[in-house]
Amino acid sequence: MFAVDVIHHIDDLASFFAECARALRPGGRLVLVTDSEDTLRQRSLTKFFPEILSIELQRYPSLPSLHRQASAAGLRLLVQEPAKGDIPLSSDFVTKLAAKCSSAMRLLAPEYHAAGMARVRVAQARGEQWRSCYTLLHYGSAARGGSGFTSAGS
């Protein structure tokens, strides 16, 4: 079961985790792909649009709070791992940024978006890459015993 970059849109995390725990097959996993304070500080979105950090920190639940909610539903953390990659700042990619392709960008004041786009265009001219990074959280049922996996980085 996967939930990719949606956890910050879920109002009732307790119900979410309870339903995931109920629906998991024996030996199954829930894999969340989400942002953490660490990944938010590393990514290009925050580098070029620094005003977005406070917005994102308010939107995303902290990793400890996710772990607590999962544990309360009978899930345990099996693995926590980073996922990072670099993307060329192509004209098409920059056009998407200018169109505010991420939900957080739509929350920026127009002057912050314009200043960030100016920084992006300078980076594009220098041939820089766009850094994308997330945290992957693998949960399994605590009642189903060990799976041989351990928590990394937690």
Quote the pLDDT of residue 103.
84
CA distance 7 to 59: 9
Question: What is the pTM for the complete model shown?
Answer: 0.81
Predicted confidence (pLDDT) at residue 29 exceeds the cutoff of 50: yes
Predicted confidence (pLDDT) at residue 151 exceeds the cutoff of 80: no
CA distance 59 to 151: 25
Average pLDDT, the chain: 90
How confident is the model over 53-108, as pLDDT tens digits? 999 999 999 999 999 999 999 999 999 999 999 999 999 999 999 999 888 899 99
Chain center to CA of 2: 13
Quote the pLDDT of residue 102.
84
Tell me what the mean pLDDT of segment 18-27 comes to.
92
Tell me what the mean pLDDT of segment 105-131 comes to.
96
Q: What are phi and psi of 61, to 5 degrees?
A: -70, 145
Tell me what the mean pLDDT of segment 120-128 comes to.
97
Residue-by-residue DSSP string for 57-120: HHHSPPHHHHHHHHHHTTEEEEEEEEEEEEEE--HHHHHHHHTT-STTGGGS-HHHHHHHHHHH
Quote the pLDDT of residue 143.
63
Residue 131 or residue 27, greater confidence? 131
Residue 150 or residue 145, greater confidence? 145
Predicted confidence (pLDDT) at residue 145 exceeds the cutoff of 60: no
In whole angstroms, how far apart are CA 152 and each of 76, 97, 101, 136? 13, 33, 32, 11
Predicted confidence (pLDDT) at residue 152 exceeds the cutoff of 80: no
CA distance 129 to 43: 11
